[in-house]
Structure 1
Amino acid sequence: MDSRVRALFLSTLILLQIGICINKVQRYNTNIDFLLHEAGGVTSAPKRDYSAEFPSLKPSSTTQQQSRTTQGLNIVTGTTPKPQSPKRDYVAPQQPTTKHDQKTTSPQQNITPSPATHSGPTVKPTLSPKRDYVAPQFPTLKPPQQNNRQTGNVKDLINFYDNFNNNNNNARKPSYSSILQGSSVGTTVKPSITPKVPSFSSVVGGSTKASSPTPTTPVHKPTVPNSGKNTPGTVPVLPSTIINNKNQGSASTIATDAELQAISEELLKKDTNNAARHVTINFQEKTSSSTKEDKAPQPLLTVASEAWNIPTIQKFLPLLDNYERDTLVNEYVTSQERTEENAFMDAIMSTTVIRHLMNFLKEKGKVPPDPAKQRDFLKQLWFGLYSRGKGKISSSGFEHVFVSELKNGEVSGLHNWIYFSKEEAANRVNYLGYLKYVQLNDKGVVIKLHFNQQGVDKPVDSMFIGTSPELEIALYTLCFVTREGDDCRLKLANQDVNILTHNFRYRSKNYIGSAFPQI
């Protein structure tokens, strides 16, 4: 009896469980199976394996109780549970809530899922609006409270500087606009303790006034626009672009006659390599340019051997045999001749005469401040080759002025006493007499003379006698840069000496075509 009752009880229990399972299968809707799984109603749904890629935060005890209550209600009544977005659970660690937020905000307020649809198994949740709050990663700067005006142009910048420290009456700095306008009213400027260096023109002009800065009123120099001319402060160009600039440039770049006379006197005083004390001049009789009669049977010059030992003259002598006199014969500069040119340039660039000249030209904006570029300037001016006819590269400023050329059967150039004395000693030059001469005290002579070279007559010629090569190059360069093609009135030993220079333009470059003294 007991075994029958037990078997009946077990069979009844099995049938009851089967009925319950069938009832559950009938009551569950496959369209919302994923949602019931998210609410806790199904523990073994196959889609649960996919959600493992999105781990969720451990819910609080309050949330678990509410989830269980909701789960029970949903199973009994058949209502659709409100799912939580799986992606929301995944990104929540990037936006943790503070303790204050946990106290004041419930989980239902933090997450607002979209209503479930029964058209498919997939539900697209709506992300929380707080997900867009990424501003803490990019903090914004607090705008300055003292100036709420928008900026963006130069006028606003000027106004900003004008109003800066407006309430500080003790020591207000000059405003940006007042600096532009050159005004110093209402400003206090600390005077500079560095004295202003006197300019070259004020020194040579004999000014004795001390140039010291005014402690209360700053001096604002006007800005001169660069119009393509040589102005102070700009980097001057090499002689390839030098043109006749005697009437160009601002007042500070134009060398006045008084400045030229002052610097020429200074250059003569600084001529330490002067050889006049070693030269004897035999003028003999005066002649004219129209007669070929020899009024001077004896040589013009007698030079002591000490003159050839002067440093710059030593470097000058090897250059005299480097040239073809005929302008229709090309010049080929050998490496040895280039070495001799460089040695001569190095020798004269270290003299006080050339350095004094370059300082003056630099102040006038005619040469660069770099000594190496000044050397390049001078070398191109004198040793650059050009053609005097028929495309023959056969001439240079140095060859024409300091040596001699033969052009169209006539003697051209030859304005140097060293070369003249060497040619005279070799019986290649015959001095016929003088036309005029001017003594430069113990520094030498300027002479106008008549001679012939190798049977070719030159009725009028002029040259310095006894002066150093660097002094002659300095005087000719000074006049070429400041008075090219015009009279260059100088003072030498208180004597008036005029120098005339000519430009020779070849292939867009400017060279010295000729330079000689006039008396």
Structure 2
Amino acid sequence: MDGEMEGRDERSRSSWAQVVSGNHDNQDPPPSQCRKQGHVKENNDGWETAGRKPRRRPQKVQMDHWQGYKRIPSEQQYADHVGTDTCLEPSGEELADLSQACNRLWQLDLNRLKPGKDYQIDCGEGKRVHQKGDMAEDSLFYCLSEDVFRKPTFSRFCALLDNYNPNVGCKEVVTAEEKQEQSAFIEEISRTAPIKYLHRYLSLKGIVSGNNQDFKRMLTKLWFDLYGRGGTSGSSSAFEHVFVGEIKQHGEEEVIGFHNWLQFYLEEAKGRVDYQGYILPRRRGGTPDSETQLLTIQFEWNGVLKSVSSTLIGVSPEFEVALYTLCFLLGGQDNHVQLGPYSVNIKCYRFGDKLGAVFPIA
């Protein structure tokens, strides 16, 4: 089994560039087409295509510029800082109430996508957590606008996703190029409204200094420093667990972490994720639809089950980093907050002084 997993993990790492660029499949339609259930449909609105059940084929993502993210810091090109017309000063009420601060982050997520306009999802049928069988005839994601991958923070986030081996028992090896990608991602998101608000909020609370470099070093350490999980030192990090996902192998295999919608979208497009339906809400009236941006779902990743997982759909990477960092540093294990129309519990688990896990619960 270990040899099989190693082979699977190696393929997972090595095939990224091929899959996202579509180089291994010359039969894919051009990016202006949108595919459903194996059929090709003309679409001139700039949509990218996710694979659809039962016939899964990878999408194409334009990533020519991603190689530039591996360059040395002096050769990097970043987006401009958010304009001064955006008020980033926390109010007294926000400083006194974590929920209000989190809701402000939601309002400041200027890069958040719009359902139906930037992407389309099909929630399929609902199921109970322990109910067997696939209740989703199709994939979760139907379409995603190709413009999404031109957003600097989105594309830098995606460039990080192939830096990890999902096997919890496998020690990670971080190359100089991967460290540069981490640094470039932190620099890029630090120019956005949610991260600037986070810095100001934490500095007013005395958690960090007002120095930008110190703040960015803190974010890098919190999210990318390696620690041991599953008995193997240097095998995990907050970023890998929360955003990329891991596969635990003690006893029955199990997917842990994996709470990011972009990672889900890309892995589903490659045929590695099998969406199996949303988890039925405990109360009536909470049935998700194509407009919902907080979903509780079940899926298989590389054939391994994730029985229940909550995900914020369409939010930006900078929003999630800011939200989870804020709750980790100033909240507890349960953080009941308001995010726009959603009442959410941001669940935080510490791993010593590290961020072990964090995710939303509807």
SS state at 1:274 partner: coil
Corresponding residue number in structure 2 for 1:493: 340
1:300-322 Cα offsets, whole Å, 9 max, x none, are 01312111111100111110100
SS state at 1:475 partner: helix
**Equivalent in 323, 326, 330 of residue 478 of structure 1:** 326
Distance 1:330 1:275 in 2: 35
Distance 1:476 1:285 in 2: 29
Q: How does 1:84-483 map onto structure 2 within 5 Å?
A: 200-202=90-92, 204=93, 256=96, 259-276=97-114, 277-301=117-141, 302-408=143-249, 409-436=253-280, 445-483=293-331
Report the CA distance shift for 1:443/1:380 in structure 2 as closer, same or farther (over 3 A).
farther
Report the CA distance shift for 1:436/1:367 in structure 2 as closer, same or farther (over 3 A).
farther
Report the CA distance shift for 1:410/1:442 in structure 2 as closer, same or farther (over 3 A).
closer
Residue 279 of structure 1, CA deviation? 1.6
Pick the structure with more helix per residue: 1
Q: Does the aligned pair in 2 maintain the 1:440–1:495 contact within 8 Å?
A: no
Distance 2:162 2:291 in 1: 27
Distance 2:209 2:220 in 1: 14
Report the CA distance shift for 1:464/1:518 in structure 2 as closer, same or farther (over 3 A).
same
Report the CA distance shift for 1:415/1:517 in structure 2 as closer, same or farther (over 3 A).
same
Q: Quick one: which amino acid aligns to residue 194 of structure 2? A: V
Return the TM-score normalized by structure 1.
Answer: 0.49
Corresponding residue number in structure 1 for 2:358: 515
Distance 2:214 2:354 in 1: 16
For structure 1, which runs of at least 5 residues remain unmatched after alignment? Answer: 1-198, 206-254
Residue 396 of structure 1, CA deviation? 0.1
Q: Does the aligned pair in 2 maintain the 1:401–1:416 contact within 8 Å?
A: yes
Q: Does the aligned pair in 1 maintain the 2:123–2:289 contact within 8 Å?
A: no
Residue 410 of structure 1, CA deviation? 1.2
Distance 1:315 1:335 in 2: 16
Residue 466 of structure 1, CA deviation? 0.2
Report the CA distance shift for 1:377/1:515 in structure 2 as closer, same or farther (over 3 A).
same
Residue 275 of structure 1, CA deviation? 2.2
1:389-440 Cα offsets, whole Å, 9 max, x none, are 3333110000000001011221111000000011101111111110157799
Q: Does the aligned pair in 2 maintain the 1:312–1:344 contact within 8 Å?
A: yes
Q: Does the aligned pair in 2 maintain the 1:444–1:467 contact within 8 Å?
A: no
1:58-87 Cα offsets, whole Å, 9 max, x none, are xxxxxxxxxxxxxxxxxxxxxxxxxxxxxx
1:235-269 Cα offsets, whole Å, 9 max, x none, are xxxxxxxxxxxxxxxxxxxx64xx22222221111
Between Structure 1 and Structure 2, how many residues are aligned?
264
Residue 357 of structure 1, CA deviation? 1.2
Report the CA distance shift for 1:443/1:310 in structure 2 as closer, same or farther (over 3 A).
farther
Q: Does the aligned pair in 2 maintain the 1:380–1:511 contact within 8 Å?
A: no
Report the CA distance shift for 1:447/1:441 in structure 2 as closer, same or farther (over 3 A).
closer
Distance 1:516 1:419 in 2: 14
Q: Quick one: which amino acid aligns to residue 310 of structure 1? A: K
Report the CA distance shift for 1:483/1:440 in structure 2 as closer, same or farther (over 3 A).
farther
Report the CA distance shift for 1:290/1:367 in structure 2 as closer, same or farther (over 3 A).
same
1:281-331 Cα offsets, whole Å, 9 max, x none, are 111111111122111020101312111111100111110100011111110
Q: Quick one: which amino acid aligns to residue 359 of structure 2? A: F
Report the CA distance shift for 1:456/1:261 in structure 2 as closer, same or farther (over 3 A).
same
List structure 1 runs of 4+ shifted beyond 2 angstroms: 199-202, 389-392, 436-444
Report the CA distance shift for 1:475/1:440 in structure 2 as closer, same or farther (over 3 A).
farther
Q: Does the aligned pair in 1 maintain the 2:90–2:197 contact within 8 Å?
A: no
Distance 2:219 2:310 in 1: 23
Q: Does the aligned pair in 1 maintain the 2:294–2:342 contact within 8 Å?
A: no
Q: Which has the higher contact order (CA 8 A, sep 6+)?
A: 2
Residue 367 of structure 1, CA deviation? 1.4
Q: Quick one: which amino acid aligns to residue 222 of structure 2? A: L
Distance 1:440 1:268 in 2: 20
Corresponding residue number in structure 2 for 1:132: none
Q: Does the aligned pair in 2 maintain the 1:444–1:466 contact within 8 Å?
A: no
For structure 2, which runs of at least 5 residues remain unmatched after alignment? Answer: 1-88
Report the CA distance shift for 1:410/1:451 in structure 2 as closer, same or farther (over 3 A).
same
Q: Does the aligned pair in 1 maintain the 2:245–2:255 contact within 8 Å?
A: yes
Residue 444 of structure 1, CA deviation? 6.1
Return the TM-score normalized by structure 2.
Answer: 0.69
Q: Does the aligned pair in 2 maintain the 1:417–1:464 contact within 8 Å?
A: yes
Corresponding residue number in structure 2 for 1:40: none
Identity of aligned residues (%): 36
SS state at 2:195 partner: helix
